[in-house]
Amino acid sequence: MFEFTAQRRVTYGETDKMGYLYYGHYAEYYETGRVEAFRSIGLVYKELEETGIIMPVLELHCNYHKPAFYDDLLNIRTMLPKYPDGVKLYFEYEIRNQEGTLLNTGNSTLIFFNLANRKPVAAAEIMGEKLAPFFT
């Protein structure tokens, strides 16, 4: 299993009238987790896009347990519980505040897609050597 924890602070502009982190921003926090997890193993998403490979989200599930508030420092734990299967990558997320309280869990499925020919491409071709050490 591969996992990585990134941090992100809740900004004032991300909160709603109740002072909670607005529910729609959790998908952005998941993205922060994915991008930083990839970066930690030497895969920079921007560089991947420059090769013509994009990763659209196919599915997203989000479970809200407790609210996050303005100025909370959140720990976004991003996990790949299994090696990429075919063209898809499955992620799981846990978001905790600075006290370690579980606020949110979720998961998403992304697909590797070749923009030039508009066809899916095997995830293993792109991430295989980067992820293999975590799944041996």
Which residues are annotated as catalytic? 16
Distance CA 76, CA 98 (A): 11
Return the exposure string of 111-123: e unless at least 16 CB atoms fall within 10 Å of the residue's CB, then b.
bbbeeeeeeebeb
Q: Are 5 and 74 in contact (CB under 8 A)?
A: no
Helix intervals (H) in the chain: 26-40, 45-50, 123-131
Q: Tokens standing for 97?
A: 């505040």
